[in-house]
Copies of this chain bind each other. A is one copy, B any other.
């Protein structure tokens, strides 16, 4: 029996933990993991409780609502595998890493399909028996291309869309439709080097460290709540190409880490930030 996750968010007050655990206790549920966080700037309370046990979901939620203040937001989710779609362009390193993890049951997700705007990564995807669709953008208007993409994505019932080095910008409408459900890997340590060709920018600036950022996509490709970041040291001897290669190693690690956090229900989105419960 997969365990359930209870997410609570409201203004901080005395007695919240007591009131919440009281309801859990009365429903004979077992807390497997519990964590709270109070954001002190605005005094917001966040709690994530993983519990096991048989329960009547409606009654449980009703009891919670009655016990807790009016401004509370309550969410129940479970630790089941997520259904996902992966979007790619030409680079294989993130996709390859995710396909391998998927093949060995380490992704905590089911890859429904891979969609590329080039056919280059079809061969790799096929090795792992995952459907690959190419929706080429060449000789098409941006609108037409995205409509086709949107239609294809709509045929699958994915909870998350992973941009694994998908190098095209999605329209605000597309993004809004999948609000907080699109995860992107950006090839720089955001907010440094926003925009195109961050490694060339980093090379010109002579930085001594480069990095990568995995984040939810909101309005534009380089913003939205950051989930995970990591860096590696570089030096003057790295050419632009070597910086790109070094950066790829970080990109795939950061993306895999972010997906693990999201798919295992450890990430709470609050405004433009994430609260991550270990």
Which A residues are closer than 8 A to B by beta carbons?
A: 14-15, 17-18, 21-22, 24-25, 28-41, 92-93, 96-97, 100, 103-104, 106, 124, 127-128, 189-193, 204-209, 211, 225-231, 235-237, 239-240, 245, 249, 253, 272-276, 278
A152 CB, min distance to chain B CBs, angstroms: 25
Cα(A202)–Cα(B248), bound, Å: 24
Instruction: Contacts A15-B21, A93-B104 known; list 6 others, CB within 8 Å.
Output: A14-B29, A18-B25, A21-B21, A37-B236, A191-B205, A236-B275
Could you list 16 examples of A-B contacts with CB < 8 Å? Answer: A18-B24, A32-B38, A39-B236, A41-B239, A96-B100, A96-B104, A103-B124, A106-B245, A206-B226, A206-B274, A207-B226, A208-B226, A208-B228, A208-B229, A231-B231, A236-B273
* B residues in contact with A237, CB < 8 Å: 37, 278
Cα(A227)–Cα(B228), bound, Å: 25
* B residues in contact with A207, CB < 8 Å: 190-191, 226, 229
Interface majority SS (helix, strand, loop, mixed), chain A:
mixed
* B residues in contact with A209, CB < 8 Å: 189, 211, 229-231
Least CB separation from A235: chain B residue: B276
Least CB separation from A16: chain B residue: B31
Least CB separation from A188: chain B residue: B192
Cα(A240)–Cα(B209), bound, Å: 24
Partner of A191, one of B24, B38, B193: B193
A63 CB, min distance to chain B CBs, angstroms: 13
Partner of A31, one of B17, B240, B275: B17
Q: A100-B97, A189-B209, A206-B272 are known contacts. Are A25 and B14 too (CB-CB below 8 A)?
A: yes
Inter-chain contact B208/A225, CB cutoff 8 Å: no
Cα(A227)–Cα(B169), bound, Å: 35
Inter-chain contact A36/B34, CB cutoff 8 Å: yes
Cα(A17)–Cα(B39), bound, Å: 21
* B residues in contact with A226, CB < 8 Å: 205-208
Cα(A239)–Cα(B31), bound, Å: 18
A138 CB, min distance to chain B CBs, angstroms: 23
Least CB separation from A13: chain B residue: B30
Least CB separation from A210: chain B residue: B229
A27 CB, min distance to chain B CBs, angstroms: 11
* B residues in contact with A274, CB < 8 Å: 206, 236
* B residues in contact with A104, CB < 8 Å: 92-93, 96
A24 CB, min distance to chain B CBs, angstroms: 7
Inter-chain contact B249/A225, CB cutoff 8 Å: no
Cα(A228)–Cα(B240), bound, Å: 19
A263 CB, min distance to chain B CBs, angstroms: 14
Cα(A256)–Cα(B50), bound, Å: 34
